[in-house]
Amino acid sequence: MGYTLPAGFALLLQLESRILDWGWIRENFTEDILPALVGHVYLSGVSLAIALAVSLPTGVFVARHRKAYPPVVFLAGLLFTIPSLALFAILVTVPGVGIGPNAVIIALVAYSILVLVRNTVAGLDSVPPETIDAARGMGLTSRQILFKVELPLALPVIVAGVRIATVTVIGIATIGAYIAGGGLGQLIFDGIDRLFPTMIITGAVLATALAVAADVGLLLLERRLRPWARRAGGQG
């Protein structure tokens, strides 16, 4: 007498076979899925690199010159409040930008600046004044104090901002496929057009996994860059 699956379990297997076509995933992994994943990493990585290159010096500058802080944060906040599709629509009409990855990268940089600038300033503000005075008393220059004292101590707050910006960028980058930006959003939009759930789920799951992996990776990197925190944890 053969074993029969419970009705509920059999129904789940039936639903999974309709929603996820594992054969399609295997056949199209190299041709469609992997290029989409690489494209998404490219969009997110380039955008974050540019945003950091702009935001860190800007954050240090406005932390030193407080009168510049309100207008810089206001402008960055104004960019952050623009809905992503509206910003994409504006950018594709700009000469020299047009439809494609360039518009997506510019938008992602714009969305990252606010949190990175604010966290850079907050991190520098968290450094105790007596620590800076002690470093100055040891003969360190302002530049040495910044790179050897202030930035290392501000690192947890700055990395927290980078983590938020990273997850935000990875999420918004999926919408960039709407203007031919590529990435995992292409799988999602193509799946919607074809009414093919496998493509939608594959793109969504990979985008989510990428965001989680990047967040965990940045957390581990931050701990590695703070050896004193590891030593304190080991003594606890």
In the three-class reduction of DSSP (H, G, I as helix; E, B as strand; rest coil), residue 141 is classed as coil
Instruction: Note the pTM of the prediction, 2 decimals.
Output: 0.85
Report whether CATH 1.10.3720.10 matches the domain 23-222.
yes
Q: Indicate the burial class of 4 (C-beta count within 10 angstroms; 0-12, 13-18, 19 or more).
A: exposed
Q: What is the reported pLDDT for 10?
A: 45
With H, G, I as helix, E, B as strand and everything else as coil, classify residue 96. coil
Q: Do residues 171 and 207 make contact, with C-beta atoms less than 8 angstroms apart?
A: yes
pLDDT tens readout for residues 16-74: 556 778 889 999 999 999 999 999 999 999 999 999 999 999 999 999 999 999 999 99
pLDDT at position 21:
83
Query: Could you report the per-residue pLDDT of 98-147, keeping only the tens digit for each?
Result: 999 999 999 999 999 999 999 999 999 999 999 999 999 998 888 999 99
